[in-house]
Structure 1
Amino acid sequence: MPLISTRFDATSTAADVVAGHDLSGRRAIVTGGGSGIGVETVRALASAGAEVTIAVRDPEQGARAAKNIAGTTGSTTVRVARLDLLDLDSVAAIVADWDGPLDLLINNAGVMALPQLTLTDHGWETQFATNHLGHFALTVGLHDALAAAPDGARIVSVSSTGHLASPVHFEDIHVAQRAYDPWQAYGQSKTANVLLAVEATRRWADDGIVANALMPGGIMTNLQRHVSADVIEGWEKAQREGTVTFKTPEQGAATTLVAAVAPEFATGGHYLEDCNEAPTVADDARVRSGVRQWALDADNARRLWEVSEEHLARHHQGD
């Protein structure tokens, strides 16, 4: 099948994508919506009339973002809720507090390249726990709200080209048996983001729910706070030499908005970059773009869902 394309590209902004869309009456949650591409995602949705909840670990940061967005868009329907993806009780609380239908769930928050192996209280590797398991719990918890959306609902998983670095290591997800590498661990979690979209679509399309994943592009935001100065310097050198192009946060949010509102992506299980569907590339291909076969594999997606359910069950049992 031909790849899905839109009229947008790498230079488009979130405002470009939502122009002409009336999202009045639509309700959205954006995790990590207080900074970076998250805040520009919220701004674009709010400018089109949507009611948006910024789900953030620091409610004060979220409140500052909401005030700024109100000032630039005139929206009075941007709300803030506390969400700590490493605290599954926090996830459960936001689910319990949600009332009514949910049209858009944008799983945007994340952590990148922690320099040392860190584990949660449950022994879960922190990047996998934050980027995938917390979002998985939120997504599953909000299923009924998404299914209640009158015109169907969309889930958007913000992934990364980092997924090219690693599949999900099902036999050693939490890096107990191999040497820890920050980028491998990050890559595994970003592959999981794509697999979540694949399996959520398979399971829930009949409920009117579809999910897509995306690579927003290279954007310098707070996400890079754990990345070493040497790596950052290398990226900046590559940009000066023209081998790497960084986007603005507004451009980075554009692909998120395409996945969220563009009619071309009313179906699910796709991976986007630069506002269009990306080609599938072999697992061993030496590439810097595209989506690995391992990230779209239906068996991997089904297995990850089941493994994730097992993780949550152990949490609820207090293990």
Structure 2
Amino acid sequence: MSVPQTPGTFGATTTAAEVVDGIDLHGRRAVVTGASSGIGVETARALASAGADVTLAVRNTEAGDRVVARLEAELPSGSGKLTVGLLDLADRSTVAAFAAGWQGPLHILVNNAGVMAPQEITRTPDGREQQFAVNHLGHFALTTGLHRALAAADGARIVSVSSTGHLFSPVVFDDLDYRFRPYDPWTSYGQSKTANILFAVAAAERWADDGITANALMPGNIADTNLARHMDLQEIADFVASGAIALPPQKTVEQGAATSVLLAGSPTVAGVSGRYFEDCAEAKPVTERGTNVGGVAPYALDRDNAARLWQVSEALIG
């Protein structure tokens, strides 16, 4: 068995398999949301390959079953058990049912699912703007609903997949649902990704005494993912050409899952909490978006913003 590497030996091209090489996660239980495609599949694969029992929490359980069948055929003997659970983050009832149905401790929760940049505003059945509702509120309800299970794990880790897109917007508390300002798909996406980071900051502080750590991350510019399903290739090309965003080099899905897996299972980041990572390392602060392709905005790590978002989120989910 090889010795786990230190974060300094990881980088943008590191794969999830390289992160878990030599790590033993037998006896640990994990949930990965949105694990029927893209980096969610690779995150589940890597954690299971290290021995963790992984539940794929997905909207389409048939798609989840197909992923499980494929991974079981590909993973070596001694890998963790794979199961599928129904979870639609836009449907509060499935979130509540998933949390209520969980039995025993939960060691790893990877909040991976998300939606990016629908060109027209979409609202969930309870009236919330879709990106904020799915990317943040759904995961907030799920994670708080699983708090007892996480606290029972003695060292649980929460991993929230955010994005460099958080640089597009802070959380606009006075108009979360675009009822007064014109809808913009990218500032909407940006505030939802900022919310993912602020949630990690707040959870890290609130749940430290439970032994729970919480961090957020940017997976990278992934070449093959279902996240951009609401955009065609020309829209993406035009957006990049406009100068509104500068994208880092593309990654494979195996590379894109690496930072999630690092935060979920590597002993090299044990005890680290309330941080934002990219390319398997803690991100550096930036003071303006400009042409930055990475870094973390100060408003996304602000403890007052994090505490306010927690209170607002509790009120919104009832």
TM-score by length of 1: 0.92
Between 1:75-84 and 1:267-276, the stretch displaced more is 75-84
Q: Which amino acid in structure 2 is aligned with residue 280 of structure 1?
A: P
Counterparts of residues 1-319 of structure 1 (less than 5 Å): 5-74=7-76, 75=79, 77-150=81-154, 152-219=155-222, 220-233=224-237, 244-266=248-270, 267-283=272-288, 286-313=291-318
Contact conserved, 2:168 with 2:289, CA < 8 A, in 1? no
Structure 1 gaps of 5+ residues are 314-319
2:52–2:80 contact (8 Å) kept in structure 1: no
Amino acid at match of 1:33: A
What is the TM-score when the length of structure 2 is the normalising length? 0.92
Shift of 1:284: 5.7
Question: Match of 2:315, as an amino acid?
Answer: E
Matches of 1:25 and 1:243, distance apart in 2: 39
Shift of the 264–235 alpha-carbon distance from structure 1 to 2, 3 Å rule, reads: farther
How far residue 237 of structure 1 moved from its aligned partner, in angstroms, is: 8.7
Q: Is the 8 A contact 1:198 1:301 kept in 2?
A: yes
Tell me the CA shift for residue 167 of structure 1. 0.3
8 Å CA contact 1:255, 1:274 repeated in 2: yes
- Flag structure 2 segments of 5+ consecutive residues without an equivalent: 1-5
Alpha-carbon distance between aligned partners in 2 of 1:212 and 1:290, rounded to the nearest angstrom: 15
Q: How much does 1:118 deviate?
A: 1.1
Relative distance call for 1:25 and 1:155 in structure 2 (3 A) is: same
Judged with a 3 Å threshold, the aligned counterparts in structure 2 of structure 1 residues 246 and 96 are, in CA distance, closer, same or farther, namely same
2:89–2:139: 8 Å Cα contact kept in structure 1? yes
**Structure 1 residue 229, shift from structure 2 partner:** 2.8
Q: Which moved more, 1:243-252 or 1:201-210?
A: 243-252
Alignment-mate amino acid for residue 168 of structure 1: V
**Alpha carbons of structure 1 residues 237 and 40: separation in structure 2 relative to 1, 3 Å:** farther
Percent of aligned pairs sharing the same letter: 58
> Is the contact made by 1:5 and 1:277 (CA closer than 8 Å) also made in structure 2?
no
The offset of 1:235, in angstroms, is 8.0
Q: CA deviation at 1:232?
A: 3.2
Calculate the aligned-residue CA RMSD, in Å: 1.9
1: distance between equivalents of 2:269 and 2:167?
Answer: 23
State the shift of 1:123 in Å: 1.5
3-state SS of paired residue (1:128): helix
Tell me the SS of whatever aligns to 1:109.
Answer: coil
